[in-house]
Structure 1
Amino acid sequence: MVSKFSASVFFTCSLIMLSINSYAALPLAVAGKALPSLAPLVDKVSPAVVNISVSGSQSNQQIFPDLFQFFDKDGQAETPKQPFIGLGSGVIFDSKQGYIITNFHVIENAEEIKVTLKSGHQFDAQVIGQDMHSDIALLQIKTSKKLTQIPLANSNNLRVGDFVIAIGNPFGLGQTVTSGIISALGRSGLNLENLENFIQTDAAINSGNSGGALVNLNGELIGINTAILGPNGGNIGIGFAIPANMVNNLVQQLLQYGEVRRGILGIKGGELTPELAKTFDLESQHGAFIYQVSPYSAAEESGIKAGDVIVSLNGYTIKSFAELRAKIGSLSAGKQISLTLIRDGETLNLTAVLKESSSSKVQAQAIHPSLSGAVLTNTISPDENKGVVVTEVERDSTAERYGLQQGDIIIGINRTRIRNLKELSDLIKTSPEILALNVLRDTRRLYLILNQ
């Protein structure tokens, strides 16, 4: 007698065999035309997607709280460091210069970065710049080999329902391709500290896909895969990518300045809720509601007022305050923007020139490995004290071991005066034989010698 279990297994196997036999009988062409396939598209764009492996060490205060600190021979507290390795993906942005885009969280705290092409060739990568709040980093590899890059799409033209493919390195398996559609646009709320205006897709994205490509059927890059919503890093059909336009704006700043010089409009606001729309007698149910305009800001100078609802930026619809914040945050200081807003039932068109944020900070590791663990920003001091101020120094970091302290102002490299982060970064890139930081500490000047 056959058990129910045996019968069910037999029935399933029969269905599988029937399915296999049916599939084997399928023609390779219909009416003389080849069956549709994404293979030609994948062949075209996949060489531009790379695998990234990182290694390093970092302090772990959760594993080693203050109670378990160790002390060196001079009695100074030391926090043990934990080695780590990580895997991710990247996209070749400029094939001639060897520039590669990835996520900041992929290379964060990395001391060694390896880039592997689809061909299997591997290279050491250098960090050109990074921005934590947008989760973008720019790497560079040096090679005489011909590289492939993916052209950028205008991500403002994306629509929900567009077909996409995702390419990356999930779980370190190697290059993997998945397909799906754009499920939603303008997603935010994953991390309120960051700038978020995500493309949502149901193309399978898993751990290791971070930094990989989201591509349309024209073979254009529409986004950089960066996050998933799912248990234990597994795919449940909800993945997120940073839009290509936002990526391009940030990369151009990293290339020009070595940092993101984020422009600010000077407003505080929130989402336009149905309650607010009813209170202010607004027909629009989407937009960015302005609570407050900062004095002397770009917003005040342009004529924006509290109570206004911004519904368009540079001719493209704005659906939420988070979307406006992210798009403004990816633009550089000095950029002129056009805004459409609703005030007392009337539609107004204004222009504004974004101002530079005085709180722009850069992870010093992006400028030189020996500065790892320090956070730098431009000073707002008088001209004679202008330079790069050290706002933070991580305990037991490389920067601390070289003698850098919080509050130091870097005013020169060797005997050359520097006044800002760009000048510091540009001078270090010239690779002088000796790298001596001229530091102003309180009222004293001193030199700190770094390894090259």
Structure 2
Amino acid sequence: MIRTVLFACLLASAPAAAQEIDLAGAADDRVVPESRMDMQMSFAPLVREATPAVVNVFSRRVVANQHPFANDPFFSRMFRSQPREQNSLGSGVIVDASGVIVTNNHVVAGATELRVVLADRREFEARILLTDEATDLAVLRVETSEPLPVLPFDRSGDIEVGDLVLAIGNPFGVGQTVTSGIVSALARTDVGQTDFASFIQTDAAINPGNSGGALVDMDGELVGVNTMIFSRSGGSNGIGFAIPVEMVARVVDTAMSEGELIRPWLGARLQPVDSDIADAFGLSRPRGALVNEVYPQAAADEAGLMQGDIVLAIDGQAVNNEAGARFRLATRAAGDDAVFTVLRDGQEMTFDVAVQPAPGIAEPDPFEVAGRNPLSGAAMVTLSPAFNERVGLDPFRSGVVVSAVGRRSVAGRFGFRPGDHLVELMGTPIRSLDDVAEVLARHDGEQVWPLVVERRGQRFETSVRLY
């Protein structure tokens, strides 16, 4: 199984390697074939080493079987949706000899049963160690009495556009298949499939069933996990994407240590530097990401980043937008420091930014409103970056929102909805639940309640009357 995204045109190439930061180190030993004999060389030895560590992942899930009259209010009462089993196929990579396998989250999402088949046809029942929708990765474990073949991670970080790669998986369920190609682009952050996107693009043929399979370099090491394609037809058109091994290693390490996968939060809004911004800051060309806003006491603020700074690189890797910065932070463990290269007043500076989660509580206990007031029967929570990130709100947004409204409650009758942002109540600005509690205690039982509410970006000022 693989995600297929329908696009009418190719995306523009993203900036890839050298961005006015000296990333060169050891001598480059890549060579171009110079003879017919060089061009007739085979990948077979590399394939023999790599393929035993790539597996097939079979998932089974129960789904509702919709009858043809499901949307008809009359006939739907005469039919009942019967659950049915749905089987799907993906691929996976053995990353630890004890039986740890990494695959895509969408391969195993909702599965009631998972089965892994090795290249030598051995079969194992698998259990999930960790799933992460934000990165579209999942880590499985199978129980085995003997070590399994492993595909090692490429931790060198020296992959370049033009490097030869092999994609290994089980497309269309036909059996293990190897395709070859090159790295077409790096750091693709504009394909919009995960929250921490920075994909490797390849023209190695990837098709449905390749999801979770291996993208392997010429050293026989894992450089990425294949995850999706761009296609008009649903088949491979030479535009495939793989999750880089840096992210894969972070998720696997977390799963094996039985830790919690931390979502690092920079606490700064970043904007790509276009030609106008580059001219305004005296840059020879557009590069980096401009800091538009810094959240107080977040990681960026504590490290000393300021509005107007231009982030050029993180840990020596060029960054050109907020998605790239999020990815770089997400590949680091909580408590680490990431080195930011920043341009400020024409001078390059470095800052150590702590990798830490967003402040606040991701799942706060709601305040249940009672008494004689227009909010009675509603549940409310205080916004924080941690909560906002979890529910998909602007992380910088603050205040109090309605999280739930009871059926047949007073709040429901007055039209309050989950997501409503309470700005003012009885003329008092509302910044926290303490403000709400104080106003309700002071005015409970009064008949007229002036209030200000924001809903989906629109501001409403009104007064409600209790009867």
**Alignment TM-score > 0.5, same fold:** yes
Structure 1 residue 302 displacement after superposition: 0.4
Partner of 1:224: 225
Match of 2:137 in 1: 136
CA–CA separation in structure 2 for the residues paired with 1:360 and 1:256? 23
Look up the equivalent residue of 2:133 and give its one-letter code.
M
Q: Which amino acid aligns with 2:57?
A: I
Residue 185 of structure 2 is aligned to residue 184 of structure 1? yes
TM-score by length of 1: 0.67
Q: Distance in 2 between matches of 1:352 and 1:309?
A: 15
Partner of 2:93: 91
Correspondence 1:44 to 2:49 = yes
Contact 1:166–1:214, Cα closer than 8 Å, also in 2: yes
Inter-CA distance 345–93: structure 2 relative to 1 (3 Å threshold): same
Does structure 1 conserve the Cα–Cα contact (< 8 Å) formed by 2:201 and 2:241? yes
Structure (1/2) with the larger helix percentage: 1
* Other structure's SS at 2:119 match: coil
Distance 2:75 2:277 in 1: 52
Counting only pairs closer than 5 Å after superposition, residues 375-394 of structure 1 correspond to structure 2 as none
- Asked if residue 211 in structure 1 is aligned to residue 233 in structure 2, the reply is no
Provide the rounded CA distance (Å) in 2 between the counterparts of 1:186 and 1:237.
17
Q: How far apart are residue 227 of structure 1 and its match?
A: 0.8
1:286, distance to aligned residue in structure 2 (A): 2.1
SS in 2 for 1:143: coil
The 2-side partners of 1:358 and 1:49 are apart by: 39
Aligned-partner Cα distance in 1 for 2:360–2:122 = 41
Pairwise CA distance, 1:284: 4.7
Q: Which of 58, 61, 68 is residue 56 of structure 1 equivalent to?
A: 61
1:101 equivalent in alignment to 2:137: no
Q: Secondary structure at the match of 1:231?
A: coil
CA RMSD for the aligned pairs? 3.2
Which residue identity is paired with 1:102? T
The 4+ residue runs of structure 1 with deviation greater than 6 A are 30-34, 60-63, 68-71, 378-381
State the Cα deviation string for residues 47-94 of structure 1 (Å, max 9, x = none): 0000011011245899956959989xxxxxx98655321110000010
The alpha-carbon distance between structure 1 residues 358 and 193, as it changes in their structure 2 partners (threshold 3 A), is farther
Q: Give CA deviations for 1:272-316 in whole Å, capped at 9, x if unaligned.
A: 222221223223522222211111101000011122111111122
How far apart are the structure 1 equivalents of 2:40 and 2:158?
29
Aligned partners of 1:170, 1:91: CA distance in 2, in Å? 15
CA distance in 1, matches of 2:291, 2:81: 45
The answer to whether the 8 A contact 2:298-2:358 is kept is no
Cα deviation 1:409-433 (Å, max 9, x = unaligned) = xxxxxxxxxxxxxxxxxxxxxxxxx
Distance 1:82 1:57 in 2: 6
**Change over 3 Å in CA distance of 1:34–1:331 after alignment to 2:** closer
Choose 188-197 or 168-177, whichever is displaced more.
Answer: 188-197
Question: TM-score of the superposition, structure 2-length normalised?
Answer: 0.65
1:193–1:162: structure 2 CA closer, same or farther, 3 Å change rule?
closer
Q: How many residues align?
A: 334
What secondary structure sits across from 1:125 in the alignment? strand
Residues 192 and 292 of structure 1: CA distance in aligned 2, closer, same or farther (over 3 Å): farther
Cα distance, 1:36 vs. partner? Answer: 1.1
Of stretches 118-127 and 274-283 in structure 1, the one that deviates more from structure 2 is: 274-283
